[in-house]
Chains A and B, each alone.
Chain A
Amino acid sequence: MTDVGSAEMKIAGMTGCAIGVVLVVLAVAAALPFVLSNYQVGLATEMLIFGMLAMSIDILAGFAGRTSLGHGAIFGVSGYVVVYASAQAGLPPAVAFVLGMIAATFVAIIFALLAVRTSGVYFLLLTLALGMIVWGICLRWTQVTGGENGMRGDVRPAFLVTHRAFYWAVLVATTFVSYAMWRFVRSPFGLTLLGIRDSESRMKSLGYNVPLHLFLGFAVSGFFAGIAGALYAMFNNFVSPSTVALAQSVEGVLMMIAGGVGTLFGGFVGAAAIITLENVVSAYTERWQTVLGLTFIVIMIFAPEGIIGTLRVILTRGQGDKEHSKNK
């Protein structure tokens, strides 16, 4: 895991450089629809959305040291509310979107109230169980959720119907959300989460209200997952229990791990890697899930810090040498 505390000084010194990188990445991302086919633009949209989900999980896992297996449920609840509000209740998309975010945050708050008392594997299991409850409700409350069949409807507003327009909209949303998350984990509050991750007892003895901080961290993380979920519902115009299922949470966690725990932006890299693999490999073999599994094993063995994490280690090693020699 990266040490944000010390990285921050470096960031302060490299602001110009960082902004440059961000602008280049954004420009490239914004230009993608001109070179990609419609289908690939769809995949890119999905990568952004799942990148957001992975990042929201990373807020808890990478910075507060609590890996949640319930974020798929939070993500999915937002999707359910968006589809329900727009397709069944006939509300305008913007209102549905906001309701989705509120619902996700609300679910996250309930999860948080129960889960912040625990840590480690207990946190994992508790969030897993809570996620399963949400899944069960979505599956069985047929009158409202459509049960196994899920719910359908035209959720996207008219001006976002094309793949490109929607991609750009998601890109804009992603940019703001990512920036917000980045500021969040670097804020004094975010640093207290790091402190809790590293030593809960010390934070307690320093007078911090650890459960409250975790609670807020969880709620904020759920809020971001909710934005991703609402966008995903708009992307698919469809939601079903598989969107809130454990597999969804696990996929989010795997994306985060593949990208690098505690790297935040690794979420995008992980999402991109996994979605690409899923779609490229499946064209060649129906055993694509096996290939995916093997890839994870390889990542865990050779790059346990994840893709971004490993790159960062390599880069900082190089830069560290340079700075080291400069200081001399």
Chain B
Amino acid sequence: MDRRQFLKNSTAAIAAAGTGAMPWRARAQAAPIKVGLLAPLTGVVASGGKEMVEGVQFYLESVNYQIAGRKVELAIEDDASNPDTALQKARRLVEQGNCHLLIGDLLANTGLAVANYVKGTGTPYFIPIIAADDLTQRQRIKNVIRVAGYSASAFTHPFGDWCLKQGYKKIATISQDYTFGHEQCGGLAQVFTEGGGEIVQQFWHPLNTADFSPYLGQLADLKVDAIFAMETGADATRLIQQYASFGLKGKIPLLGAMNATDQSVIRTLGEECDGVIAAAHFAEGSDNPVTAKFTKDYEAKYGKIPSLYGFSMYSGIMWVAEALEKIGGKAEDRDAFIDAVLKTELTGSPLGKTVKLDAYGNPIYDVQIRKVVKRADGKYWNVPVTSYPGVSQFWKYDPETYMKQPPYSRTFQGIKKA
């Protein structure tokens, strides 16, 4: 395959010259490790995308763009919050940029599109943000690994349990009507109803709902013990604001999915977000010294408290780096690389605790039940209230049995009939 080899080499040369990122390096030095970062820099979730890039850069700067003695070359591409574009950019990074690994994407649909593509090429692809359950469950792809990420229903399982412990009997949910919402609500609904609770009603609203009053009006009349809101981005901001202006705040406890009280949302909010409870692995207001240092350093550098996006990408690239250190930086040897990543236990995580993957490539975390409180300087952040140690994505179910039930969807929420 002389021609193919020639093409490969010439493409690499063209790509290197074309991107102009690096001057041609001396031959004696090991070639750089090429990292392809996909992030939505334009489109509906662009603000999250920028924080993803910050997270990766924050880590790489801290190690001076060196992993295992090799220089790291970071190629950033905009997936435009669109799966077709994400796919095209992934092709570009892999086939033209010759990236050794891909990391990133925010929206599940972009991640799923890229995952399907790398299934064919075998390129290692890391997804610290993409939460679609099935990528580490029913439709696992060997080279797609959720380093430092989480599956959507992993945190709402213990959250359902926590609700039971609070003595809540009746809960209503309101959620964005798409897979991420279905999966998060499903996790809570299954554990909560199996423990004897009742999901009174579930509201599904389209993404980008401006006015929540029709939903809030109905929610107020349901006489429930708590309301679970699965919202992200601007929807979360609006729901929390309108929840307060409807006078529901303080009357019915508001529970949120982790994105609903993520820094990217509550950064812009005032006291209306005070006291909202959510379950997550990361709580920026934790008094764990490692977490506190990470938050402080990040804030000093970027002028804002780190969000889920910055944190996850920071930890994700760190995970990859720790794995590469173990195999002497040989990113070219894909099988060994993927194997190393799967076996790596992340020691430097800002969570202040070692994190490892389960047999399905999904991390096992201590899940924090966190509460939004006001910091001394008037900013709001999430502080852990209690913690569920070592939570698997399958909660307490047997993985095989669990995966026999259908994935959570609008029609299947795992609700146990009373």
Let me know if B195 is at the binding interface, CB within 8 A.
no
Whether B112 and A149, one on each chain, are in contact in the complex, defined by CB atoms closer than 8 angstroms, is: yes
Say whether chain A's binding surface is mostly helix, strand, loop, or mixed. Answer: helix
Let me know if B54 is at the binding interface, CB within 8 A.
no
CA distance in complex: A161, B121 (Å): 11
CA distance in complex: A237, B113 (Å): 9
CA distance in complex: A242, B96 (Å): 25
Q: Interface-forming stretch among A32-40, A193-201, A256-264, A295-303?
A: A32-40
Let me know if B78 is at the binding interface, CB within 8 A.
yes
Give B77-97 as 1s and 0s: 1 = Cβ < 8 Å from A's Cβ atoms.
110101110011101101110
Q: Interface-forming stretch among A183-191, A216-224, A282-290?
A: A282-290
Chain B min CB distance to A97 (Å):
19
CA distance in complex: A286, B182 (Å): 32
Whether A37 and B7, one on each chain, are in contact in the complex, defined by CB atoms closer than 8 angstroms, is: yes
Let me know if A123 is at the binding interface, CB within 8 A.
no
Let me know if A238 is at the binding interface, CB within 8 A.
yes
Q: How many A-B residue pairs have CB under 8 A?
A: 92
- Which chain A residues border B87 with CB–CB below 8 Å? 236, 238
Chain A min CB distance to B7 (Å):
6
Given known contacts A37-B7, A40-B96, A148-B178, is B109 in contact with A242 (CB within 8 Å)? yes
Given known contacts A142-B409, A147-B178, is B109 in contact with A236 (CB within 8 Å)? no
Whether A150 and B7, one on each chain, are in contact in the complex, defined by CB atoms closer than 8 angstroms, is: no
CA distance in complex: A278, B42 (Å): 13
Chain B min CB distance to A243 (Å):
6
CA distance in complex: A34, B384 (Å): 59
Chain A min CB distance to B15 (Å):
8
Given known contacts A150-B112, A237-B117, A242-B84, is B89 in contact with A282 (CB within 8 Å)? yes
CA distance in complex: A243, B83 (Å): 9
Give B1-26 as 1s and 0s: 1 = Cβ < 8 Å from A's Cβ atoms.
00100010011001000110000000
CA distance in complex: A156, B298 (Å): 46
Chain A min CB distance to B140 (Å):
13
Whether B83 and A150, one on each chain, are in contact in the complex, defined by CB atoms closer than 8 angstroms, is: yes
- Which chain A residues border B84 with CB–CB below 8 Å? 236, 240, 242-243
Given known contacts A142-B179, A286-B78, is B109 in contact with A150 (CB within 8 Å)? yes
Let me know if A140 is at the binding interface, CB within 8 A.
yes
CA distance in complex: A247, B44 (Å): 14
- Which chain A residues border B132 with CB–CB below 8 Å? 149
Give A6-43 as 1s and 0s: 1 = Cβ < 8 Å from B's Cβ atoms.
00000000000000000000000000001001111010
Whether B7 and A238, one on each chain, are in contact in the complex, defined by CB atoms closer than 8 angstroms, is: no
CA distance in complex: A158, B177 (Å): 37
Let me know if A46 is at the binding interface, CB within 8 A.
yes
Choose among B95, B120, B409, B410 the residue with the greatest number of A CB atoms under 10 Å from its CB. Answer: B95
Q: Which of A39, A152, A278, A286 contacts B91 (CB 8 A)?
A: A39
Q: B1-60: which residues lie under 8 A (CB-CB) from chain A?
A: 3, 7, 10-11, 14, 18-19, 41-42
Let me know if B411 is at the binding interface, CB within 8 A.
yes
CA distance in complex: A286, B108 (Å): 21
Say whether chain B's binding surface is mostly helix, strand, loop, or mixed. Answer: helix
Give A27-66 as 1s and 0s: 1 = Cβ < 8 Å from B's Cβ atoms.
0000000100111101000100000000000000000000
Let me know if B201 is at the binding interface, CB within 8 A.
no
Whether B19 and A283, one on each chain, are in contact in the complex, defined by CB atoms closer than 8 angstroms, is: yes
Closest Cβ neighbor of A36 among chain B residues: B7
Chain A min CB distance to B44 (Å):
11
- Which chain B residues border A279 with CB–CB below 8 Å? 88, 92
Given known contacts A150-B83, A282-B78, A288-B78, is B96 in contact with A39 (CB within 8 Å)? yes
Q: Which of B89, B92, B113, B178 contacts A236 (CB 8 A)?
A: B113
For chain A, the bracket of interface size reads 20 to 34
Whether B112 and A39, one on each chain, are in contact in the complex, defined by CB atoms closer than 8 angstroms, is: no
Whether A143 and B178, one on each chain, are in contact in the complex, defined by CB atoms closer than 8 angstroms, is: no
CA distance in complex: A46, B77 (Å): 19
Let me know if B116 is at the binding interface, CB within 8 A.
yes
Whether B92 and A240, one on each chain, are in contact in the complex, defined by CB atoms closer than 8 angstroms, is: no
- Which chain A residues border B18 with CB–CB below 8 Å? 283
- Which chain B residues border A152 with CB–CB below 8 Å? 112-113, 115-116
Whether A38 and B95, one on each chain, are in contact in the complex, defined by CB atoms closer than 8 angstroms, is: yes
Chain A min CB distance to B232 (Å):
12
- Which chain A residues border B107 with CB–CB below 8 Å? 148
Closest Cβ neighbor of A289 among chain B residues: B42
Q: Which of B14, B116, B179 contacts A148 (CB 8 A)?
A: B179
- Which chain B residues border A283 with CB–CB below 8 Å? 18-19, 92
Whether B83 and A39, one on each chain, are in contact in the complex, defined by CB atoms closer than 8 angstroms, is: no
Closest Cβ neighbor of B409 among chain A residues: A142
Whether A238 and B113, one on each chain, are in contact in the complex, defined by CB atoms closer than 8 angstroms, is: yes
Closest Cβ neighbor of A237 among chain B residues: B116
- Which chain A residues border B78 with CB–CB below 8 Å? 282, 286, 288
- Which chain B residues border A243 with CB–CB below 8 Å? 84
Closest Cβ neighbor of A154 among chain B residues: B120
CA distance in complex: A236, B86 (Å): 11
Chain A min CB distance to B97 (Å):
9
CA distance in complex: A50, B198 (Å): 51
CA distance in complex: A40, B41 (Å): 23
Whether A37 and B11, one on each chain, are in contact in the complex, defined by CB atoms closer than 8 angstroms, is: yes
- Which chain B residues border A286 with CB–CB below 8 Å? 41-42, 78
Whether A149 and B109, one on each chain, are in contact in the complex, defined by CB atoms closer than 8 angstroms, is: yes
- Which chain B residues border A40 with CB–CB below 8 Å? 96
CA distance in complex: A147, B83 (Å): 13
Chain B min CB distance to A147 (Å):
6
Whether A149 and B179, one on each chain, are in contact in the complex, defined by CB atoms closer than 8 angstroms, is: yes
19 more A-B residue pairs beyond the given contacts A236-B113, A286-B41, with a C-beta to C-beta distance below 8 A: A39-B94, A40-B96, A142-B179, A142-B411, A143-B411, A148-B178, A149-B132, A150-B83, A150-B112, A154-B120, A238-B112, A238-B113, A238-B116, A240-B109, A240-B113, A242-B82, A242-B84, A286-B78, A289-B42
A-B contact pairs, 27 of them (CB 8 A): A38-B7, A39-B91, A39-B94, A40-B96, A140-B177, A142-B179, A142-B182, A142-B409, A142-B410, A143-B409, A148-B107, A149-B108, A149-B132, A149-B178, A150-B112, A152-B115, A153-B116, A154-B120, A237-B116, A237-B120, A238-B113, A240-B84, A242-B82, A243-B84, A279-B92, A282-B78, A283-B19
3 closest A-B pairs by beta carbon, nearest first, are: A39-B95, A39-B96, A37-B11
